Homo-oligomer: A and B are copies of this chain.
Amino acid sequence: MDMIQVCIIGSSGHFGYVLDGLREVPEARLVGVAPGSPGETMDKVLAGASRLGAAPRLFDDCLDMLDELRPDVAAVACHFGDHARVAAEVLKRGIHAFVEKPVATTYSDLRMLRDVYAAGDARLAAMFGSRQMPHFRTARQAVREGAVGDIRLIQAQKSYRLGTRDAFYRQRSSYGGTIPWVGSHAIDWVRWIGGETFESVLAMHSTRDNKDHGELETTALCHFRMTNEVFASVSLDYLRPPTAPSHGDDRIRIAGTEGVLEVRDGRVLLMNGREPGIRELPLLPKEDLFPAFIRQLDEEDGRVSAEDAFAVTEACLKARQSADEGRQVLF
């Protein structure tokens, strides 16, 4: 593989996935960084790069950077409302885009990004960070291998500490909403592990008690109907107290015709008819997303991940629309 030139745009999302991943991909080199949204500073990214021994050039304007450096890959992690616009600029230049999820925060931006993607050959993947985690990888593998039989019912949960969030979280236009931002992970699990397709959603969200976070929704509950009469709930909140033992409490429970599998506290617990009681499954190793994206640039089916990103983003936007309008939305 030739040397791969990488740029990072923005410092608001999980740019750390790229910095961490670069350690594992010696053929990739961070050559430039630039903000992607008004008011972003790149200090944290530059500091992280420096710890890697990298010395990327800092640009004021990400488009100037793309045009001048012509990198192979650009990571997009600016304000969430700008993901689609910036990612489209990346793709239009034939540059592969590794984009923070959700990849768009409006239907029109999602359509635009899909069109730009379809018109070119560049790859796109979303930063579904939990897909790299041992417990979610293990859960998916077990379920796909039939550990619970046919899936019938799914409950997913994301619970975060709120703390004090950056100003851009306080407006829908820049934040996108709690369902797209927090929920995209859990909505991805439902589809990625469950393997069914969304048919309808009813969702609700509330900004109550958001401690002066403007339009940020503190709670949301989504109820999906999937193909094959599989039902899935997705519960989202920022109510985890500051004294909680960890930042987040990610869970999924998958009940099927032959058993029940759960992810909780980073563990995978399986109960099925084959052995008595509840078994804790040994975990697959972590697989970092960014190196996987780099590797798949050479693979035939490397464009699958973009479909995942678009489908999950669309599901988030439909759930958000349902919550805004108080009615069920069909897919």
**For the complex, what is the distance from the CA of A268 to the CA of B152, rounded to whole Å?**
28
Residues of B within 8 A of A272 (CB): 241, 243
Given known contacts A204-B225, A223-B223, what 11 new A-B pairs fall within 8 Å (CB)?
A153-B219, A204-B223, A209-B257, A219-B231, A221-B223, A223-B233, A239-B256, A241-B272, A243-B275, A243-B277, A249-B260
Q: Does A100 contact B (CB under 8 A)?
A: no
- Give 8 closest A-B pairs by Cβ, nearest first: A206-B229, A221-B231, A223-B223, A241-B273, A239-B255, A233-B233, A202-B202, A243-B276
Nearest B-chain residue to A259, judged by Cβ: B241
Residues in chain A within 8 A of chain B (CB atoms): 150, 152-153, 155, 157, 159, 202, 204, 206, 208-209, 218-221, 223, 225, 228-229, 231-233, 235, 237, 239-245, 249, 253, 255-260, 271-278, 327-328
> Does A240 contact B257, Cβ atoms closer than 8 Å?
no
**For the complex, what is the distance from the CA of A267 to the CA of B256, rounded to whole Å?**
25
How many copies of this chain are found per oligomer?
2
**For the complex, what is the distance from the CA of A175 to the CA of B155, rounded to whole Å?**
26
Nearest B-chain residue to A200, judged by Cβ: B326
**Smallest Cβ distance from A306 to chain B, in angstroms?**
30
Nearest B-chain residue to A323, judged by Cβ: B231
**For the complex, what is the distance from the CA of A273 to the CA of B241, rounded to whole Å?**
5
Residues of B within 8 A of A150 (CB): 209
**For the complex, what is the distance from the CA of A150 to the CA of B210, rounded to whole Å?**
12
**For the complex, what is the distance from the CA of A152 to the CA of B155, rounded to whole Å?**
18
> Does A255 contact B209, Cβ atoms closer than 8 Å?
no
**Smallest Cβ distance from A181 to chain B, in angstroms?**
17
**Among B152, B157, B209, which residue has its beta carbon within 8 angstroms of that of A209?**
B152
> Does A229 contact B208, Cβ atoms closer than 8 Å?
yes
**Smallest Cβ distance from A189 to chain B, in angstroms?**
16
**For the complex, what is the distance from the CA of A240 to the CA of B243, rounded to whole Å?**
34
25 pairs from A and B in contact (CB 8 Å cutoff): A152-B206, A152-B219, A152-B237, A153-B219, A155-B155, A155-B233, A157-B253, A202-B328, A204-B223, A204-B229, A206-B229, A219-B229, A221-B231, A233-B235, A239-B257, A239-B259, A241-B258, A241-B259, A241-B260, A241-B273, A242-B273, A243-B273, A244-B260, A245-B277, A245-B278
Residues of B within 8 A of A275 (CB): 243
**Smallest Cβ distance from A203 to chain B, in angstroms?**
9
> Does A237 contact B255, Cβ atoms closer than 8 Å?
yes
**Smallest Cβ distance from A150 to chain B, in angstroms?**
7
Residues of B within 8 A of A278 (CB): 244-245
**Among B153, B241, B274, which residue has its beta carbon within 8 angstroms of that of A235?**
B153
